[in-house]
Structure 1
Amino acid sequence: MNADNPRRATSRATDRPGDASPFALGLLLRQAHWRVSAVMTEALRPLGIEVRHFAVLLVLVNRGPTVQRDLVAATGSDKAGIMRVVDDLEHKGLAVRKAVPGDRRVRAVEITPRGVELFDAAHVAAEPLAERLVADLEPGEPEQLRDLLTRFAYPAGGEG
């Protein structure tokens, strides 16, 4: 380092509340994700599924029958991971693979009535745990947090 190029003073990442480093937002989001993931896991465990299974059921409920390559994109998984999840869901009777007319190599995954029942039961099981997650927030703050995170995750300009 020379006098012409002084090192700019910046905060170093600490991974503690109040961190002002350039990594602070990412570190907070990571910590929040871990906390929410633990609560979701707790809600889903008695139902015999994991968060990765719920993620696929969520896509199937919202989109209807979906080809496996689209499940990869929708869940942020990889091809092998989706294959294992769909295998698990089929084994549990929560989803089925069906041939796609016109392309015998492609299979669409469809949620079963039992899968829909379990999906709905997961919401019931998660309700008290979700309330516990935001128990330390003031009235109106859970909605504000949801709004801010939604705008952050889905920017108006479509940036990502």
Structure 2
Amino acid sequence: MTADVPRHTTAPRATDRPGDESPFALGLLLRRAHWHAATVMTEALRPLGVELRHFAVLIVLVNQGPTVQRDLATATGSDKAGIMRVVDDLERKGLAVRKAVPGDRRVRAVEITPQGLELFDAAHVAAEPLAERLAAGLGPGEPERLMDLLTRFAHPAGGEE
């Protein structure tokens, strides 16, 4: 028995090529843009001995202060096991520490260390020329326009993160 799937469709098929007009086109472009940006930013972080997954946690710790692992997983889109491995890595490197949460002996908050803050700042310095290269194909004012559009897309008014 076959499923009731229309044999012919009028909707464009996803191709992941420039000019794709399928309903998947925006998502596919965002995925491709993410891969490109992640490749460039990985290049900036490699000499510092960290990966994007480590840096994503450091960003949360700088923005939010000490954060429990459950909230780190949510903020970075990771799972419980993945965030534990990242925090273990950060602790081994001296970039973060786990500390007891007053009133709950089972929960540990993760906090960035002074060494972690130094690395965080060094990563921004290292990323600057690479970020310029990332936007090199855009015209005057386009990097700012792209940032504005992506910010509004990623953080819709009234939407939740």
Deviation at 1:137, TM superposition (A): 0.6
Match for residue 116 of structure 1?
117
4+ long deviations beyond 2 Å: 5-8
Distance 2:88 2:53 in 1: 12
CA displacement 1:13-38 (0-9 Å, x = unmatched): 11111111111111100100000010
Identity of aligned residues (%): 81
Give the TM-score of the pair, scaled to structure 1.
0.93
The count of corresponding residues between Structure 1 and Structure 2 is 156
What does 1:7-156 correspond to in 2, within 5 Å? 7-156=8-157
**Which blocks of at least 5 consecutive residues in structure 1 are unaligned?**
none
Answer with 108-117 or 149-158: which moved more. Answer: 149-158
Distance 1:52 1:64 in 2: 18
Distance 2:120 2:62 in 1: 8
Distance 2:97 2:38 in 1: 26
Give the TM-score of the pair, scaled to structure 2.
0.93
Distance 1:44 1:6 in 2: 49
Note closer, same or farther for the CA distance 1:83–1:9 as it changes in structure 2 (3 Å cut).
same
Q: How large is the RMSD of aligned CA atoms in angstroms? A: 1.5
CA displacement 1:66-121 (0-9 Å, x = unmatched): 11111011111000001000000000000000011111111010100000000000
